[in-house]
Amino acid sequence: MIFAPASITCIFSPEISSSARTSGSIGVGFTIDLGVFVEIDSEVSGVVVNDREVDFPTVDFVLQRLGLSGVRINSELPFGCGFGLSGASALATALSVEKPFMELADLAHEAEVRNLTGLGDVVTQTFGGLVIRKNAACPSKSIVERYKWDVTLDLLVLDQISTKDFLADELRRNNLKKLGKKWTKEFLIKPTIENLFRCSNNFAKETGLLEYVEDIIEAVESEGGSAAMVMLGKAVFASGGFKALEEFGDPFKASMDYCGVRKI
C-alpha cells in the first residue's frame, strides 16, 4: 500500500506549456500527515474511492499508461477542497508499480497537468515538507528548496472550488502567474512560518481569492492567531486559531509531514 500526503498550496504561479514536463507552477506549499492510502486491485475496474466507484480522469490516465485495471483509494480528507488529493491519488497509484521513482512521479504530474486538476501538488508530495518550487516542471526537472518544520496546524474546510474551472480562464492565469512569482520571491527572503502567513494572505488578497475566507481569517486574527487560505478551496489553515474556527464549522488538526509519498 502507498501513502501520499495531502498538500496545501499557499502561493502559486501557473505555467502551462505544450509539454507537461515543462508545465506546472512556481510557488510555496507543504505536505501534512493526512492524505490518501492507495492499493492496486485487479478485481476492480476503474477507481474506487472510500468504497464508491467514481469518475476520476486523473487517476484513470495513470492506470491506462501503466496497464492497470483498477485501484482502491481511501482518503482521510474531502476531494476538491484544496488538499491536492487528485495529485496524491495519481502519485500513489503510479508508485504502486515497480519502476523508477521519478519516472512514475513525472507520470502522475503529467496526469494532473493534462486534466487541469493541479499544477504543483505532485512536486510537493514527491519531496515532502515545506517546498518552494522555483521552476514550473515535473518532479524530475524541478528545482526546489525544502524545509522540515515541526508545526501542527488548525484546519477548517467549508466547500470546494473547481481547480479546473479556475485555471481555464487565461486572464486569471496570467494574473496568478505575476502575483505568484512576486509573493514566492517575498517569502524566499524570509522563509518563516510568520512570513508564510503574511505572504499567503497578501497573495490571496491581490488575486481576489481572499474574499472566500476573509471573515474566517479575521476571526482567527482577532483571537491572536494567524490564518491563511488553502489554494484552491474554501478552506483555511491556521496557527492558534482552533476556537475561532469552531464558530464556522468543525476544525481539525494536522502536522506538517516531511517524508513525502511512501510505501507503508
Averaged pLDDT, 225-253: 96
**Residue 240 in grid coordinates:** 492558534
Burial of 149 (0-12, 13-18, 19+ CB in 10 A): middle
- At 70-95, the pLDDT tens digits run 999 999 999 988 999 999 999 999 99
Distance CA(185)–CA(38), nearest Å, equals 35
- Measured at the alpha carbon of residue 119, what is the angle toward residues 180 and 33, in degrees to the nearest 5? 95
Residue 104 has pLDDT above 70, yes or no: yes
Specify the pLDDT at position 221. 97
Percent of the chain with pLDDT over 70: 98
Specify the pLDDT at position 86. 96
**Residue 67 in grid coordinates:** 496497464
Q: Mean pLDDT over all residues of the chain?
A: 95
Lowest mean pLDDT among 35-39, 47-51, 68-72, 165-169: 165-169
Distance CA(126)–CA(111), nearest Å, equals 14
- Measured at the alpha carbon of residue 253, what is the angle toward residues 238 and 222, in degrees to the nearest 5? 30
CATH topology for the 2-147+258-263 domain: Ribosomal Protein S5; domain 2 (3.30.230)
Percent of the chain with pLDDT over 90: 89
DSSP-derived letter for residue 141 is: G
Angle, helices 101-115/57-66, rounded to nearest 10 degrees: 140
Averaged pLDDT, 104-128: 96
Every domain of the chain and the residues it spans: 2-147+258-263, 152-255
Specify the pLDDT at position 233. 87
Residue 163 has pLDDT above 70, yes or no: no
**Residue 54 in grid coordinates:** 467514481
Whole-structure pTM value:
0.95
- At 240-251, the pLDDT tens digits run 999 999 999 999
Residue 11 has pLDDT above 90, yes or no: yes
